[in-house]
Amino acid sequence: MRGAVGLGQRWKATTVRVVGETPVSAVGPLRIGLVYPELLGTCGDRGNGEVLAWRARRRNLPAEVVEVPASAPVPGGLDAYLLGGGEDAAQATVAGLLRSPAGDGLRQAVAEDRVVLAVCGAFQLLGRGYTDASGRRTDGLGLLDLDTRSALPRLVGEVVLRTREGELLTGFENHGGRTWLGPGVEPLGRVLRGHGNNHSDGAEGVRRGALVGTYLHGPVLARNPFLADLLLRAMLVRRGVGRPVLEPLAEDRSRALHDARLEASLPPRPRRPSLGPR
Ligand code: GLN
């Protein structure tokens, strides 16, 4: 596994206010796993690892991105597991690897409610399986009650969704698969623009504890500081840092990107009629 992925720019560190037992200084380096980036990363999803590490370092939290190549077993005990999207063939290869003992570290991470972010093809593999456009079935990991079947046309374009906290998330989608969540399975949010999981139920992604699945590329964490900090907080809580409060970042480039993409994706707000001369 390769070591830390450095980010050259030096930024003024922003503090983390912690309400809880363990002082932040006692938190050793956060280890962010990037699983099989050579197979799952067609849409630049590997950037999610660098963004998460950058947002941790901006809060004076040491963090490193640990790349897990397809030739290696997925290690247990990482603070986060990030998996990206991939074409059908790569997805089938990944499914075989992760269903084997090589995938035990990921299964253990899900069982321990560690942070898992699975994008597009990887999101699909968390469920029972994926049936591609030719009807070929790839069994998934069966970790979530969801299933995916490919159909035409591909669902491509900008997506905006609203999370249960009322936050807007932005990204772009590019998938043939239509994913259906089982009863009681919570989506990441409700679609305001675009397609999301399928063409009809208005759900996007999946959310269970510290696990998030989504169709959003972008990379999704680069476009959505809320989601990135949600995962970062979950990593700290798991390290026993009580209830960490992450101060907003000054000069947050993700915030600027987020706002610009929302501006481009949502219809302009209707201007309130002027009340006439005062
Ligand atoms: N192969 C899957 C589909 O087309 C996922 C694609 C992706 O990961 N971008 O639905």
Model confidence at 11, in pLDDT bands (50, 70, 90)?
very low
Half-sphere exposure of 126 (CA within 13 A, CB side): 33
* Fold designation for 21-264: Rossmann fold (3.40.50)
Model confidence over 36-79: pLDDT tens digits?
999 998 899 999 999 999 999 998 899 999 999 999 999 999 99
**pLDDT at residue 228 in the model:** 98
Catalytic residue of the set 120, 175, 195, 258: 120
Comparing 24 with 96, which gets the higher pLDDT? 96
* Ligand 1 neighbours by CB, cut-off 6 Å: 43, 85-88, 91, 120-121, 150, 174-177
Six token digits for residue 38? 């050579």
CA of 102 to the centre of ligand 1 (A): 22
Position 15 pLDDT exceeds 90: no
Active site residue 43: no
What is the residue-wise DSSP string for the chain? -----------PPPPEEEESSS-GGG---EEEEEE-TTTS-TTSTTHHHHHHHHHHHTTT--EEEEEE-TTSPPPS--SEEEE----HHHHHHHHHHHHSGGGHHHHHHHHTT-EEEEETHHHHHTSSEEE-TT--EEE----SSEEEEEEEEEEEEEEEEEETTS-EEEEEEEEEEEEEEPTTPPPSEEEEES-TTSSSS-EESEEETTEEEE--BTTHHHH-HHHHHHHHHHHHHHTT--EEEEPPPTT-HHHHHHHHHHHHHSPPPPPPPP----
**pLDDT at residue 3 in the model:** 37
Position 231 pLDDT exceeds 50: yes
Catalytic residue of the set 175, 195, 217, 258: 217
For ligand 1, pick from 36, 40, 45, 124 the residue to mutate: most ligand atoms within 8 Å of CB: 124
**pLDDT at residue 4 in the model:** 36
Q: What percent of the chain has pLDDT over 70?
A: 90
CA of 99 to the centre of ligand 1 (A): 18
Ligand 1 closest atom vs CA 122: 8
Model confidence at 10, in pLDDT bands (50, 70, 90)?
very low
Least confident of 11-25, 36-50, 104-118, 135-149: 11-25
CA of 88 to the centre of ligand 1 (A): 6
For ligand 1, pick from 40, 48, 88, 154 the residue to mutate: most ligand atoms within 8 Å of CB: 88
CA of 87 to the centre of ligand 1 (A): 5
Closest C-alpha residue for ligand 1 atom 5: 121
Distance CA 255, CA 261 (A): 10
Residue 229 in contact with residue 222, Cβ under 8 Å?
no
Model confidence at 245, in pLDDT bands (50, 70, 90)?
confident
Active site residue 199: no
